[in-house]
Structure formats: C-alpha cells, structure tokens
Structure 1
Amino acid sequence: MTVLTVQNDQFHFDDKPIRLISGAIHYFRVVPEYWYDRLLKLKACGFNTVETYIPWNFHEPTPGKFNFEGMADVEGFIRLAGELGLHVIVRPSPYICAEWEFGGLPAWLLADREIQLRCMNRPYLEKVDAYYDELLPRLKPLLSTNGGPIIAMQVENEYGSYGNDTAYLQYLEQAMISRGIDVLLFTSDGPENHMLQGGMVPNVLETANFGSRAEESFEMLRRYQPQGPLMCMEYWNGWFDHWGEEHHVRNGDEVAKVFEDMLSLGASVNFYMFHGGTNFGFTSGANGLERDHYEPTVTSYDYNAPLNEAGDPTEKYFAIRDIIAKYTDLPEMEVPKALPKQAYGTVLTASHAALFDQLHLLSEPVKSVTPEPMERYGQNNGFILYETFITGPREEKELIIQDCHDRALVFLNDEFKGIIERWDSSKKVHFEVPNGGASLRILVENMGRINYGPYLADRKGITEGVRHGNQFLYGWTVWTMPLDDLKPLDFAAIEKTTTNGPAFYRAELHIENAPADTFLKLKGWSKGVVYVNGFNIGRYWKAGPQQTLYIPAPFLRQGNNEIIVFDIDGTDSLELQFVDQPELG
C-alpha cells in the first residue's frame, strides 16, 4: 500500500522522503479538452503534484440530482493526472471559497431557513452526508492506498476564518474516514492566532495559507503545531479581480524569491493558482466582509498565475521553473507551446429580442404576496423580475428596495427610472405615479454570492420587501430567469443602430477552418452575459477591468457559430469583435 505519511518534520511517500511541489488547477474552470495540456505544462515546470478543490454546487445543482460529466468529470481529471505521473491533492470540503459562487455551497441550502451553514446544525449536516454518500465513493478507488494518485484530502477549508465549531470539523473528519478515505487528511488556515485556533483538528495535519513572509508565517504555524512537515497549502502568487477595480499583477521575480525562501526552510508548497482558468457562466463569487460591503468577482480567473487564463506559460512560469531546478532535477521534456489563438474580426448582431416581450417564453409567472429571494422560488443563478401595479396618482417618492441583492433596474410603465446597487447607497430612484396608476418592474441581477467571510448566507433578489416612500408594496408577479436555455427566444431583425433596455442580441460567427481560441471584445456594450453555441461563457461589464471574454476553441465549431448577448443596460454598438489577445485591464 502506497501512502503519504508524516514522519517527524517530513513527508514520506512509499517510505521515502518527499517534498511536495504542487500547483492548483481547477478542473471546473478549464474545458476537459485542455486538461491534458494544463497538467503537462505543470509537470514540465518541475511540479510533482496537482491540487484541486471540488465545488459541491457544481456537482449537485439541485437537491439529489448529481452531475459528474463533462467539466464536472472530476474522476477523469484525477485519473489523467495520475497517468502523467502526478500526485493529486483533493480538497472536497463542503465549502471551498475559491472566489467561486457561494464558496462552492449549493444555493438551494438558502431556501431552508432552518439550515445554518458550516456548523453542527443537523439539517445542514444531513445535506453534507447525502453529498458525501455520492462523492466519496467516487474518490475512494482513486486513493493512493487503492493504487490511485490521490495522496491527501482536506477536511475543511480555512474554517478558522469563519468559525470555531471544532466539533463540526471532527464530524467532517469522521464522515470521510467512515466512507473509506484512508489517505492523509489535513486542514489549511491563515497564519493568525484565531484562524489556527478555530481551524485545527486534533491529530490532523495543519497547513498554512499565505503569499509572503514565509519564515514569519511558518513560525506562527509552529506555535500551534510544533512538529510535522511545513507546508504552504495556498501560496498566493497572484490575485483575483473585482469589477470596477484594477487588474492585479504580481512581479514574477518576487514570487520566485518567496518560493525559494520556503524551499530553503524545507517546506512543501502548493501554488494557488498555477493555472486559474475561467469563471464560466454564473460561477464567479464575491467578497463581503461588512454588511454593506459587496465586491463581485470578474469572469476571468487568470489570477496572474504562471499559466495565464488561456493556458500559456508566462514569465512567472519560467522564473518558478528556474528555482525548482536549483533543488531537484527537471523532467526531461520540452515545455509545451501555447495553443493557437485567432482574431476572427468583427461580426454584426442581426436580430434581437427585447426581454419584456419574451417573458412568457423564458419563465412561468409566480404570484407572490411579497417579493421573496430567488432561492425561495427554486432559482440558483441569473436574473429575477418582480412586477406589481401601483395605484395613482401619487406624488414623487423614493423607491426603496430593502436589502437589494445585487443590482436592480427599475421600470415604470416600462420606462427606465434608474439603478439600485447594494454597494452604492448614493444611487437612488424616485418617481411619481400618474393618475390611473402604473406598472412597476424591477429586474434584479445576481452578480455572485459571497464566497468568504461572515455574510456567507447571501440570498439573492429582493430579500426584505419594497416600499414607495414608507408604504410597502404587496401583490407581485415574479418571473425567475436562470437563463440556462435560450432556445425559446423569438428573435426579430434589428431596425436601428442602438437600442435601450434589457434585450438579447444574436449574431453568427463563421469559421472556415478548425477553430482556435479567441477573445470576445464588447466595446460599446454595457453589461450582461454572452452565450456561444448555447454555452454561457460569463459576465461582462464596461466597468472593467476585464474587457474581453475568453472563448476556448472546444466551444466553437467549423462553420457557423451562434453568439447571443444578453445586454441589460442598453448598447451603443451592435458589433462583436473577436481578437487574439486578452484585455484584462
């Protein structure tokens, strides 16, 4: 039986000392056709291990209905890594953070008011157990103790940053062991007192997460774990971006220096990230450390990592490789070349479909006394429309959405009145109601559930009611719009150069030869999502910093390709530009 063990201050594998040089690649952020390319580049850089999270919501999008196919084929990803001679570290915690929607927790948990997250709450643990009953038997044959590549698994993720229910951590530990997980178990936390106190499990290896000051961070870990191998489970060698901020870049020489500091201390290291990939669809999360603080994450998860979003080696890649070469022999293999990119030029959207004309094709209306969060209507992601009638006449007053999550467009008799955003209290909407009354429509966009911090239970839509002035408004019709199927849309030819209001726009991209990776630039467009041959490639927003959306070649086909843009704020352009280089800000 081959197993990773802890002997004094070292890891041993097959009874021989080993230093783990690992890199994070998330299978769920990379198309399966590119898994081999990314893993091969990891190995060529001198790494011996790959690490991945497993997001619960990616595999159980609705209660009791599981998906382990396509991009969700975690078993296939792990087997492929093993075939390339790589060890695998798996982090299947119910919660993963990872700048991923709701930190990997399923949104449907929020529909049950009895569920309390990440603690010894019985309704929550029952859902975790049901998930583990499906997931862990799939991983068991892939453990190193059964001849597979998995050498270690995580119990929970950065739990000390959230809570101190150590009984909950021990419950998860036993949940894994009782289902046959017999490889090394570990936890990971930031190197701070409260984090280590809250996140450690007796007799389970603790690892540290940080991006600098390696010696200081490991000294803190040693206060709580005097013996055992040192490991940085998340070496933050880059960073992620929020909408409306600058793109994060970290100097490659600085990254290499901190990495060498860790190696000189005898530590093992897992690069977070080695290759970030993409938050396709509605999978990006958000940060919110205070009640009125909300920062949604962009679609690109480039992370300024050694491999960029499209999988190309960067200068940082080669700086890291040079450091590894000082401590171990590099594999006798060439670094694989970057995959081809293509600028397909500009295409024009030829037809469109206004959202309000398409409601009955996209959704079934639900009558509701008060506007409830989207989870209460069985919706996870996308947009939700609330509609009511206000009697008139009424003098001008402010429309107040109590706890708007996250961004609302307000229409009175289908005339746009303004935008309300949860993070910007200065944006207010006022209107008077004419004689005879008016129809009020509020389109709310879910921009990603919070994935880290004390406000994790981030329900979406309207969560506490709507007032015009001080009067609450009752009697609503609700349209849920996850937008996972656009086939019912009825498109008509565009008759003017620009249009206002939420609408779908359709174009065709013709490709003569075998498709190559490309990037969609949406200059002149405002905010929304894009579908390529029916697949949601993610959100865009003129607020930046990201200005292009990555389209991997496997999403495209030779011949005609359907592109649908759902723009919610109105567009000044009907052109779509396909370029061969990303613009991340």
Structure 2
Amino acid sequence: SERAVRPPSRPRPPLLVLRAAPLPAYTSMDLGALFGGSSAPARLLIERDQFVLDGQNFTVRAGCVHYFRVHPDLWEDRLARIAALGLNAVQTYVPWNYHQAWNASSLGPARVDLDSPSRDLPRFLRLAHGLGLRVVLRPGPYVCGEFEFGGLPAWLLRDGPIELRTDAEPYMGHVERWWGELLPRLRREGLMLDDGGPVMLVQIENECAASLRPRVLVAAGETARHQSGERERAEREQREQTRRGAEGSRESPPHMLLSHWCEYVPNPYLGPIAHAKPLHTSPAAALRYGHFGDVSEVEADRRYLERLADLARRHLGDGAQLFTSDPDDLAKLTRGTLSPSASRLGSEVLTTVDSCDVPEDAWAAQRSFNPPGRSPFFCSELWVGWFAHWGEPARPNLAAQRARDVAERLRRVLAVNGGTGSVSLYMAHGGTSFGWWAGANTADGMYLPDTPSYDYGAPIDEGGGHGLDEAGGDKYAALQSVLLEAPSGGGSSVPSSSPSASRPPSPPAEPQPLREEPPPPRRLSSTVEVELPEAVRLMEAETLAALSGGGRCCDELPLPMEEVGCDYGIVVYETELPAGGGGPLQVSRLRDRLLAFVDGEFVGRMYRQQGWGRADPKGLLMPPPRPYPRTLRLLVENLGRVGFVDLPWFSRTFLLDQRKGILGGVWLNGTLLNRTGPDGQAGWRTHCLPFDDAQLDVLRRLPARQPSGLLDTAGSVALGAGSVALDAGSVAVSVAGAMLHLAQGSDRDSPPSLPSSLPSLWS
C-alpha cells in the first residue's frame, strides 16, 4: 500500500521493517557535479557502425534494473551499485499494467499513474541521471520480463479475447492513449537526451518474433484443416453437453474432452484454441499467425511496429534513437524487425539482438538488418542468469551461468568491432515481483507460473548484495573486473554551466564509472522465527461480504474474473448446494488454482489442468450428502497471466485468451451447477479479492482471532541465516497474497528453495 496506514483500533504487533543499508556520503547531486555539471543538449548518432555522442565514440554499458521490482526507497542504492559495477547506463521496462488500472466508476481505463511512490518513473530516471547513468527505456507496450501478462493490462480482456500486438482495434486505440500520456510526460520533464536528460535509447515493442517455430502447419495444410475440423467438432459437442447439463442431465461433464483442447497439448502442433467467446479474428488467421511478429509477410504486423515508431517520434521528437530487440536468429530477425527492405522506417529504427552466445555471429546477423555503416553492435540482453518457475529447482541453468563464464561472455561482447561492442546486462539487479505481479510462461504446452523472486542470478542479488553462483563465485566482482579493465570507448568533457532549476545536472558523454560501492546490506547470522499470532478468517460469509461489498449476484454460471471486474488476485465463487448433494466435484477450464470449501470446511484443491498441476480427472470428492442445503465456496487464485509463449503456431491465439477464474462450468456428481433460486435469480455469487488499498483498510478493521482452518493458519515463518537483517519483533501480515503464500508454501508442488529476501515493507 502506498497510502498512510491508519492507526489500528487496538494494539497490534509491531510491523517488520527492513533497515536499508546506508548510502555512501555522496548524494546524487554530488555525483552530478563530479561528472562536470550540466551540458548542452546531446544527440546519440550512429556513424561507421559505432554510437557517437557529442562527437565522440560511445559504447553503451547498461545494466537492467526494474524500478517496479525495487522498493522506491532503495532505488538510489541499487542505481549506485550499478554505477559502481562499471556501467554507464541503466535499462528498464515500463509495464503498462503497472501504471494504468481499470476505473470501476467510469468503466474504462484509469488515468496513467506516474506519480505515486512506486510508480514515479520520472524520479527513477532523475536518480539515474544524477548518478551519471544514461537510460535505455523499453516502454513496450508489451515488455515480457516475466511480468504479469507481459506488462499488458488485464482489462484488455474484459470483453473477451482480442487481437494483441498487431495493428488491430481496439488494442491500438488503447496503446495510443497509453503512450499519449506516458511519452509526453517524459518530454515535459526534460528527461530526453536532447533536452539535457538521460534517455538516449527507446525500444519499440519487444521480441516480436521470439515465439517463432518452423512453419509446419503452412506446409501441412491437410493437417491444419483436419485439426480445425476436430476443434469445431469438440466445440459442438461441448455446447450440446452444456445444454443437456443445463436441462438436468447427469451425464459426465464434457470438460475432459474440451480441456484437452484448451489446456493440454498432446500433439506438439495443437494449441489452446477453444474460447468461451468468439475470437476477434478468423480461424484461418489464428492458424496462420500463431506466432507473434511477421513484418516480412503480415501487413498488420509491419504496420504495428511502424505505428509505434511514429508515435514515439511524435511524442519524443528526434532526440532518442529508436530500436528493436530480437533473438540473434536470422529467421526471427526477418519476422520481427523493421529492416530497410521491409519498412519505410528501416533506416531510422536500429535493429539490435539479444542472447549473443557467439557475439561475432550475433553482430553479423544484426548487420544484415541495418543499413551499411549503421549497425553498432548492441547486445540488448546479455543473460547473466535465469528466472524460476514454481515446481522447478531454484535458479535453473545456474551451472551454465557461473561467474567466470558470464564474465568471459561479457569480455567477448565488448571486444566486437574493435572493442566498441555495446551491451546491457540482463539482469544487473533482478529484485522482486511484489503482490500479484509475477507472470507466467509456457514451454511445450505447459503452464509455468513464475515465482515472486526475480533474483535472476544477477551480480546484485535480490537483497542488494553481491550475487554468487552455485560454486560461490562472485558475479559482481567478476563482471566489474571486465568492465573496469575494458577500453572506455571515448567520451568528451562537457563545459560546466549553471544547472537548470527544473532538472538535474547532466553528466558528460561517458563518465568514468564509480569505483566506490555502497556498503553491503546487513544479513542475519542465524535463523530467526517471525511470529504470526493472529489471523482474519477469510472464508466466513461476514468477511467476504465486508471485503467485496456483498459481491456480485447472481449469475447462472461462474464468470471469468475479468468479467466481474477482478483483474488480479483471488476470486471466490459461492453457491448453494441442494439438499442431499454429494459426489465428485469437477471444474472445466480452471485458471489457475482452486481451494474448495463446504460450509467453511476445506474439502480439497485443484490446479489448472496443465503443466505442473496435478488435477484429478475424477474431480474432488465432496463430503457425504446431507438432508439440508449447504454453501459451496470455490476460491480461485490467479497465479499469473502468460507473458511469453513457447508454443508452436498458437502463441498469438494462446495470448488472446488469458482470462482467469473459471472459464467453463462446475459439475457435482455429473450435474451442471447452474441452479436458480426461488426468486428466479441465478445461483452464483462472486467475490472479487484483489486486496487493494480499500480492501486492506477493511481487513485492518475486521476482528482478528486465534487461527483455525487452512486459510487463517498463523504460527511462524523462518528466515534463514543469510537473509537481509530485520528489526526484532513480530509481524502482522496484512497482504493476502503474502499471507496465502507464507501459510501454504508447502502446498505448492515442489516450490523452489529460493533464498529468503524481504526487500522492504510496503504497508
């Protein structure tokens, strides 16, 4: 929460507070003065395959840090550590969904928030500027980054699936309004390079062709037609079964058949292409354009990137160099970049590459898509580690990301083109996906939710200290030694002038990196138990009614979260079971994790029928029948919308429908639960629980009790040795997501054993 917390009505345990490591004696303004004061407006040019800034050759040495994954009180600390690492720039995404919520009053997108503490992007950029760091900005509108829905707002799905990341309405209308608020704000605050600010490079979209696979379906037309026919047959059968179920049939629910089309991928060239609502595109288009980004053949995709570039120029002027970023693969670059042969903007928008396992080959691929002499080698993402999914080992692929190996890869990137190679370390500091912001991926048709920890095996770890590899190698020290020893790439001194009162002083073209690192964070020397003595009973009718204002009533069937105004968090579906009701409970198209309760008693759980989940095809066994009605409550948790799809051919279609909750039906003993009450109203009530500021205020006023039951279990949480040091005392857990994950961490299937890190307390 970013608002002041009102005093509780009765004594509560003291909150847990992190003491951030103190910064060195210098301040951001001192550092700006150290680098020469303010400068005349600068311009980043490209000449002879090199970046040129103020007439001097310039190499970009950026480190990725996401301001939205770091507490705002720690922004300056993390940026100072990046500067001390030997970098001259910071790179960050700007996730659309983080800055623009849904306005329930106006029933439309809210105004863009660039002012609240954790969303104050201008302040973050000014802090970087004051520390002598230039900025590589990646404003999307799609960003990936293992962030919820790849940074796209969930409210885009409120009217059902729509076409995304292409020149189609209503998507592009929303994009124009989003950038129409974001980009002019950066210009007005003097943050662009030609206004004396730090932003020198601006990325257009992100890895448009990264999900590409060989065009098997195009070559196998009969297979595509056969699969399309099978899909239509399955949908007809689903509609007929649902109709019969609504008439009281006790036949087996159809969800096992349709769920395979929606969730499983038994055939490697099938994807989740069934939808509860009509798709806003033709089936042929869905089959043909299953991946994202094909500017070489798809007119709408080429227009999409060109419209984004035109928007950026209109709002930002000519002061920033625009660029795209795609994997260093010729096929993907062909489909994802605005090369001169494919676009009227090919000579204006720089093509860059990521991955860069073989830097010379990566540069050769990059040069193929830029005009001669206009291709400075820029590895826009040099991966120094990796992220983790629930159910995977912590830090997967860590053995391949040893400190000395990453340092050697960095050395080879910097050596390209006579030592003028530019780079951005992904990540320099990963941070934490707070609240509900962790996203999800797919791999071979499996749904893989990301963990909140985004440590990434970065040189600056999640707690702010030096990142270590599995052998104890110090990544920070290894990369710093390469960066400080490599040639600086030039840079000119800039005459001092009186600093502007409206913006911080500007550093010269390439300041020498800081060599003094802030003190490391203090860490625990032994395990500490954090007591959680009280709890609010979430699944009681009074609690749900207080939090959701009584909820939405009444619907014949459960609706997706987005259709009931719930974009993030938890949704609780509530209905009355008839007298005598019993037998197995089955749910179709569950997104993502369900806990079932009858009269407040926990009866079992289900997972999304895909990937790491272990849903029982037979359903949950309900309590024995009773001669009286009972209340059924289904708590469904959104584990994160997919932001990156590794599915053959259906990645576009898959992303089009990332709605959450229950998208199908609920059956008890084979009967569809769509019963209506005696007044003729339908029988499903829905409670939306995003646990936003308003609901947290309600929670603080609700009576806390001694814990009983699954969801309100108190007790203690162990913080192991090596965790960031915390003040003594106990903690009142007020954020439901944290409460659920702490209280039920063992409930996850093989959760990764990530190191404990509590960067700060948010409320």
> Do the structures match in fold with TM over 0.5?
yes
CA distance in 2, matches of 1:354, 1:393: 27
Is this contact kept in 2: 1:151–1:184, CA < 8 A? yes
| Cα deviations by residue, 1:470-502 (Å, 9 ceiling, x for unpaired) | 43221211111111233323234427xxx4222
Alignment match, 1:302: 455
**Counterpart residue identity of residue 751, structure 2:** G
CA distance in 2, matches of 1:414, 1:290: 38
Shift of 1:374: 0.7
Match of 1:170 among 283, 306, 316: 306
Is this contact kept in 1: 2:556–2:684, CA < 8 A? yes
Identity, % of aligned positions: 34
1:345–1:507: structure 2 CA closer, same or farther, 3 Å change rule? closer
CA distance in 2, matches of 1:504, 1:108: 33
Is this contact kept in 2: 1:97–1:452, CA < 8 A? yes
**Counterpart residue identity of residue 47, structure 2:** Q
1:532–1:503: structure 2 CA closer, same or farther, 3 Å change rule? closer
Alignment match, 2:563: 376
**Structure 1 position 361 matched with structure 2 position 546:** yes
**Counterpart residue identity of residue 378, structure 1:** G
CA distance in 2, matches of 1:275, 1:550: 13
Matches for 1:11-410 after TM superposition, within 5 Å = 11-62=51-102, 63-68=109-114, 69-113=116-160, 115-140=162-187, 141-161=190-210, 162-164=292-294, 165-182=301-318, 183-201=320-338, 202-203=346-347, 204-210=349-355, 212-225=357-370, 227=372, 228-248=375-395, 249=398, 250-266=401-417, 267-289=421-443, 291=445, 293-314=446-467, 315-328=474-487, 331=513, 333-341=515-523, 345-357=528-540, 358-364=543-549, 365-367=551-553, 368-393=555-580, 396-397=583-584, 399-410=585-596
1:89–1:297: structure 2 CA closer, same or farther, 3 Å change rule? same
Kindly report the root-mean-square deviation, in angstroms, between the aligned alpha carbons of the 2 structures: 2.7
Shift of 1:198: 2.1
**Counterpart residue identity of residue 133, structure 1:** G
Shift of 1:276: 0.5
The SS at the match of 1:242 is coil
| Cα deviations by residue, 1:65-121 (Å, 9 ceiling, x for unpaired) | 322221111100111111111110100011100011111111111102363211111
* Larger deviation, residues 194-203 vs 542-551: 542-551
Alignment match, 2:239: none
Shift of 1:344: 9.0
Is this contact kept in 2: 1:353–1:492, CA < 8 A? yes
* Larger deviation, residues 343-352 vs 195-204: 343-352
Alignment match, 1:578: none
TM-score of the superposition, structure 1-length normalised? Answer: 0.86
CA distance in 2, matches of 1:414, 1:245: 32
CA distance in 2, matches of 1:519, 1:155: 44
Is this contact kept in 1: 2:696–2:734, CA < 8 A? no
Shift of 1:331: 3.4
Alignment match, 2:14: none
| Cα deviations by residue, 1:119-152 (Å, 9 ceiling, x for unpaired) | 1112111111111111011112211011101001
Is this contact kept in 1: 2:569–2:737, CA < 8 A? no
Q: Per residue, is there more helix in 1 or in 2?
A: 2
Shift of 1:451: 1.1
Shift of 1:461: 0.6
Is this contact kept in 2: 1:533–1:555, CA < 8 A? no
**Structure 1 position 551 matched with structure 2 position 681:** no
| Cα deviations by residue, 1:233-267 (Å, 9 ceiling, x for unpaired) | 11111101111211113200000011111112132
Alignment match, 1:415: 601
Shift of 1:505: 4.6
1:534–1:233: structure 2 CA closer, same or farther, 3 Å change rule? same
Q: Which has the higher relative contact order, 1 or 2, with Cα contacts under 8 A spaced 6 or more apart?
A: 2
Is this contact kept in 2: 1:351–1:507, CA < 8 A? no
Is this contact kept in 2: 1:95–1:103, CA < 8 A? yes
Is this contact kept in 2: 1:91–1:155, CA < 8 A? yes
1:348–1:40: structure 2 CA closer, same or farther, 3 Å change rule? closer
* Larger deviation, residues 461-470 vs 542-551: 542-551
Is this contact kept in 2: 1:351–1:505, CA < 8 A? yes
**Counterpart residue identity of residue 487, structure 2:** T
**Counterpart residue identity of residue 672, structure 2:** F
CA distance in 2, matches of 1:60, 1:519: 35
Alignment match, 2:37: none
The SS at the match of 2:595 is strand
CA distance in 2, matches of 1:476, 1:426: 23
Is this contact kept in 2: 1:119–1:168, CA < 8 A? yes
**Counterpart residue identity of residue 201, structure 2:** A
CA distance in 2, matches of 1:198, 1:400: 42
CA distance in 2, matches of 1:433, 1:66: 52
Match of 2:697 among 487, 512, 518: 487
CA distance in 2, matches of 1:549, 1:347: 12
CA distance in 2, matches of 1:189, 1:508: 42
| Cα deviations by residue, 1:485-541 (Å, 9 ceiling, x for unpaired) | 33323234427xxx42222759999xxxxxx85499x9xxxxxxx976769768442
1:421–1:553: structure 2 CA closer, same or farther, 3 Å change rule? closer
CA distance in 2, matches of 1:33, 1:486: 22
Alignment match, 1:478: 686
Match of 1:439 among 631, 637, 641: 631
Alignment size in residue pairs: 537
Shift of 1:437: 4.3
* Larger deviation, residues 344-353 vs 185-194: 344-353
CA distance in 2, matches of 1:256, 1:13: 27
The SS at the match of 2:518 is coil
1:103–1:158: structure 2 CA closer, same or farther, 3 Å change rule? same
CA distance in 1, matches of 2:736, 2:548: 19
* Larger deviation, residues 252-261 vs 178-187: 178-187
CA distance in 1, matches of 2:370, 2:546: 59
1:73–1:256: structure 2 CA closer, same or farther, 3 Å change rule? same
Is this contact kept in 2: 1:408–1:442, CA < 8 A? yes
| Cα deviations by residue, 1:309-347 (Å, 9 ceiling, x for unpaired) | 011123101101111223136636322221234579434
**Counterpart residue identity of residue 361, structure 2:** E
CA distance in 2, matches of 1:519, 1:430: 45
**Counterpart residue identity of residue 418, structure 1:** G
Is this contact kept in 2: 1:393–1:436, CA < 8 A? yes
CA distance in 2, matches of 1:61, 1:419: 30
Alignment match, 2:270: none
Alignment match, 1:572: none
TM-score of the superposition, structure 2-length normalised? Answer: 0.66
